[in-house]
């Protein structure tokens, strides 16, 4: 249950099989192990010691995978940085984690990450080495090829010694939360916890050596890292990294590379449905999605209109991985309207504001307990104690209901809930209702102040192709479909919802728009 041991096992079991294809680069599992070992040896030469932090600030690609596996083999801890971050935001992550080495790029979507970091002007005394994985080098940086060329027989032997010495209780990664409600928190996870997430995801999907996994979820995120890279290494699947999402390119690659596994946020499947005509999608086997605001109608269309053999809706979080999921053989209505039952090893409770369990069918905050839950928040014992009880129940901040069969339905975030004249209104519930309108493709709802009711809903809707709706028509339809307190009092029709790099709606930007 360590990343180095998992890589060694993959090289032994799947050595000649294709591990990753990224553009013109293809590596077998044996070659991937060797590349990772060499990168780890270069880290040793750079002065990285076991327990040091190594950060990766780069888009999905083969060198991201090599760097992850190499730093783990050298006994270091991964600190990924969101590719959407600006220099000052990245500096916060690098500074708080004390990263000693940064692997980054200088030319991605017109952005030079090294230049942005230096423009931020923050002092980063711990940061000693910047490796440029793609793009031209800058003063004080080293190119990837030059860096890995520093590996020596002695440092290679040291990597082998360190890889064997890593224990399942050692920290494997520190993933910083998005920080939409304040200062980002660093989620510290162990090798055992991280690989528990990866192994369970592989078991849940039946991921295996014959699968070709198109990786749209960014590697800096829990999904891309643990349900992506590490799940694939566990199972011997072929990894196909995607740097940026373009629906035409994705659909072309599905046919050309006979992709079998295609997870992603709900917006991914929305785009595929809109562009799927006359495309070869017959190889697709597994779809996995999930979000607090997943449109039910979208899930129904995925099940009915796309060729997936297995469509799974799940609920996961940075602090613990995939907590619940629907199961193969579940009725389409179950997949469309719930996120299933707890995964093996997970316990789940729904509680009210006083911490008491709520009756079946009533909404409550989701509490979770599992061996794969985080160790703690980095250098923040107060936040750790606030989120996790002494007996390791995690407060998620998400609100859900349970049906008679024990299936979970997400109705929103505790922080997103707004109160309309004394009634609790959950944005995800209202968004699902809006997406049942045939003319609405996507919807996002936020609470806004109201003199009479305290708060009311404001909805932003993206129309389906060819549809024509006015805000007044949306409001009138809503009054016929949902309780009065849920009806949005304000509607804006927009071309597209603002999305984060992980496909989540940026509701703070919508709030700013108002």
pTM of the complete model beyond 0.75: yes
In a domain, 384, yes or no: no
Which tokens in the block code for residue 437?
């309108």
* CATH classification of the domain holding 78: 3.40.50.980
In a domain, 258, yes or no: no
Mark which of 146, 166, 188 sits at the end of a domain. 188
Report helix angle 87-97 to 113-120, nearest 10: 80
Name which of 3, 46, 9, 31 is nearest 158 in CA terms: 46
pLDDT for 184 equals 78
Distance CA 144, CA 105 (A): 10
Mark which of 124, 153, 188 sits at the end of a domain. 188
In a domain, 227, yes or no: no
Mark which of 171, 188, 205 sits at the end of a domain. 188
Burial class (CB in 10 A: 0-12, 13-18, 19+), 397: middle
Which tokens in the block code for residue 4?
């180095």
pLDDT for 387 equals 92
Distances in Å between the Cα of 249 and the Cα atoms of 26, 77, 470, 491 are 19, 34, 33, 33
In a domain, 426, yes or no: yes
In a domain, 303, yes or no: no
Give bridge partners of residue 311 from the DSSP assignment.
Answer: 287
Q: What angle do CA 139, 145, 149 make, to 5 degrees?
A: 105
* CATH classification of the domain holding 444: 3.30.300.30
Instruction: Encode pLDDT of 495-511 as tens digits.
Output: 999 988 777 788 889 98
pLDDT for 245 equals 86
pLDDT for 445 equals 93
Burial class (CB in 10 A: 0-12, 13-18, 19+), 462: middle
The residues, ordered by sequence, that sit 6+ positions from 205 with a Cβ below 8 Å of its Cβ are 231, 261, 286, 288, 310, 312
User: What's the domain count of the chain?
Assistant: 2
The residues, ordered by sequence, that sit 6+ positions from 2 with a Cβ below 8 Å of its Cβ are 72, 166, 167, 168, 170, 172, 191, 192, 195
Burial class (CB in 10 A: 0-12, 13-18, 19+), 114: buried
In a domain, 103, yes or no: yes
Instruction: Encode pLDDT of 214-248 as tens digits.
Output: 999 999 999 999 999 999 999 999 999 999 988 89
pLDDT tens-place values along the chain, 514 residues long: 999 999 999 999 999 999 999 999 999 999 999 999 999 999 999 999 999 999 999 999 999 999 999 999 999 999 999 898 889 889 989 999 999 999 999 999 889 999 999 998 878 999 999 999 999 999 999 999 999 999 999 999 999 999 999 999 999 999 998 644 456 799 999 999 999 999 999 999 999 999 999 999 999 999 999 999 999 999 999 999 999 988 899 999 999 999 999 998 777 888 899 888 889 999 999 999 875 555 667 778 888 889 999 999 999 989 999 999 999 878 878 887 889 999 999 999 999 989 999 999 999 999 999 999 999 999 999 999 999 999 999 999 888 999 999 999 988 777 787 888 877 787 887 888 898 899 999 999 999 988 888 889 999 999 999 999 999 999 999 998 888 889 999 999 999 999 887 777 888 899 888 8
In a domain, 184, yes or no: yes
Distance CA 345, CA 197 (A): 11
Q: Which domain holds residue 87?
A: 3-188
pLDDT for 300 equals 81
Distance CA 46, CA 62 (A): 21
In a domain, 402, yes or no: no
Distance of CA 440 to the CA centre of its chain: 26
């Amino acid at each position: 249950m360590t990343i180095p041991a998992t890589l060694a096992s993959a090289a032994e079991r799947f050595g000649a099989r294709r591990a990753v294809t990224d553009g013109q680069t293809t590596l077998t599992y044996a070659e991937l192990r060797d590349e990772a070992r060499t990168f780890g040896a270069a880290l040793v030469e750079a002065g990285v010691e076991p327990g040091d932090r190594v950060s990766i600030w780069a888009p999905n690609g083969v060198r991201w995978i090599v760097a992850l596996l190499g730093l783990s083999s050298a006994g270091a801890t991964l600190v990924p940085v969101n590719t959407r971050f600006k220099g000052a935001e990245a500096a916060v992550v690098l500074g708080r984690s004390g990263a000693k080495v940064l692997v980054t790029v200088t030319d991605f979507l017109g952005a030079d990450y090294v230049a942005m970091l230096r423009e931020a002007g923050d002092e980063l005394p711990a940061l000693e080495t910047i490796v440029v994985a793609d793009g031209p080098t800058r003063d004080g940086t080293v190119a990837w090829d030059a860096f890995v060329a520093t590996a020596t027989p002695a440092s290679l032997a040291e990597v082998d010694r360190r890889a064997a010495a890593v224990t399942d209780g050692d920290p494997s990664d520190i993933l910083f939360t998005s920080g939409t409600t304040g200062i980002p928190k660093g989620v510290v996870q162990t090798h055992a916890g991280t690989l528990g997430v990866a192994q369970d995801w592989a078991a849940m999907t039946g991921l295996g050596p014959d699968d070709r996994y198109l990786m749209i979820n960014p590697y800096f995120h829990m999904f891309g890292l643990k349900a992506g890279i590490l799940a694939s290494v566990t199972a011997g699947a072929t990894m196909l990294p995607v740097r940026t999402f373009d629906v035409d390119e994705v659909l072309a690659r599905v046919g050309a590379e006979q992709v079998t596994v295609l997870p992603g946020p709900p917006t991914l499947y929305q785009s595929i449905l809109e562009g799927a005509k006359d495309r070869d999608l017959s190889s697709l086997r597994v779809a996995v999605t999930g979000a607090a605001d997943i449109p039910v109608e979208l899930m129904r269309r995925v099940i009915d209109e796309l060729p997936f053999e297995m469509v799974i809706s799940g609920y996961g979080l940075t602090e613990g991985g995939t907590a619940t999921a629907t199961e193969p053989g579940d009725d389409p209505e179950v997949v469309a309207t719930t996120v299933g039952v707890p995964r093996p090893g997970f316990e789940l409770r729904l509680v009210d504001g006083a911490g008491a369990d709520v009756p079946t069918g009533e909404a409550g905050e989701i509490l979770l307990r599992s061996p794969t839950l985080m160790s703690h928040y980095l250098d923040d014992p107060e936040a750790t104690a606030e989120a996790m009880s002494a007996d390791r129940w995690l407060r998620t901040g998400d609100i859900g209901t349970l049906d008679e069969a024990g299936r979970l339905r997400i109705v929103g975030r505790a922080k997103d809930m707004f109160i309309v004249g004394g009634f609790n209104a959950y944005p995800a519930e209202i968004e699902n209702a809006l997406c049942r309108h045939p003319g609405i493709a996507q919807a996002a709802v936020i609470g806004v102040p109201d003199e009479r009711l305290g708060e009311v809903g404001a909805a932003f809707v993206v129309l389906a192709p060819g549809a024509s709706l006015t805000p007044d028509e949306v409001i009138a339809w809503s009054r016929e479909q949902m309780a009065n307190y849920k009806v949005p009092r304000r509607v804006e029709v927009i071309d597209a919802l603002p999305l984060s790099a992980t496909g989540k709606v940026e509701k703070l930007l919508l709030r700013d728009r108002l």
